[in-house]
Amino acid sequence: MPRVLILFTGGTIGMRYDPAVGAAVPALSARELLEHDPALQSLAELDIYEYGQYPGPHMSLERIWEVSEILRRELARSDIAGAVVTHGTDTLEETAYLLDLRHTSPKPAAVVGAMRTVSEPGFDGPANLSAAIRTVLSPQARGQGVFVVLNQMIHAASEATKTDTHQLETFQSPVFGPLGLVDVDRVIFGRRLIDRVVIDGPRIETRVDLVTMCAGADGRFIDFARESGARGIVIEGTGRGNVTPEAVPAIQRAIDAGIPVVIATRCAHGRVLDIYGYEGSGHDLRQRGVLFAGTLNAAKARIRLAVILGKTQDPGEVRALMECGAY
């Protein structure tokens, strides 16, 4: 049988209700989780790596980077056919995207979680694990990088995002849709990514801040990011990638200080584009030197900028790496 790495980092998939606390807490090890459904052992030889029992919000950039290092090392083993990483769903898309940006192996990997704990009816952990294992064993998955697999759907790590706080179908690819699905008898891919971006650097820059725009927002948080040592700033703008006039001076001060500033959109669908010409518009920001995130949401844009700045601080290279790829 092929051998698949199960890299366990925690999340709801490893939680159960604790009556003493009155809420769900980390509880299950990877082995206990796998024992919950013995049929998982029939899919492949499962090689377990117990990284931790971290809820999604506890996964820092340092920990995500460490997980990526472990994944790269383990996938280099000749006996490993693919890998499945368990993760809390709150930050799953950020980890999956960082893993994908650094994924140079043809061997596939999938990041998986659960929306219900083992204490709840309809615990979805084993079914999601099964789908993820089957996905990375599919010949069609080779060379496609890292997937997000939940609720029988296969998403590209660069496109998947959590859209609902509780529903099983929470992970969607709003712009382009899923890559495929896991059916009863087979794994079906309906499309492939045209252009996967890989940025292989030696470290990650953790001092990258994210600021959200809203009606009446000013530049205080942008100024605070610059003054407190941010090495990069991502702005979650409105619409096509616009900000309030009051935020523009702070953005300019960051650019003048040599800090890369990236504009993304808070909209669930679409890409940022410089089609408007008023103060604070995408066109205005582009003229000032702001970088565009394309279809990446703000959280993923922050991950990408953090990886880029761990590789280079050259402004031209930063722009090229931030804006390359299919949008």
Residues annotated as catalytic are: 12
By CB atoms closer than 10 A (0-12, 13-18, 19+), residue 5 is buried
Closest by Cα among 45, 56, 43, 64 to 10: 56
CA-to-CA distance for 282 and 250, rounded, in angstroms?
A: 15
Amino acid code (one letter) for 104: T
Closest by Cα among 205, 209, 188, 84 to 136: 84
Q: Please state, in angstroms and as integers, the Cα–Cα distance from residue 132 to each residue in 137, 147, 194, 225, following that order.
A: 9, 9, 22, 38
CA atoms within 13 A on the CB side of 59: 28
Closest by Cα among 269, 144, 263, 140 to 195: 144
Amino acid code (one letter) for 242: N
- DSSP 8-state class, residue 314: -
Structure tokens at 113: 């979680």
- DSSP 8-state class, residue 119: T
What is the distance, to the nearest Å, from the Cα of residue 48 to the centroid of all Cα atoms in its chain? 22
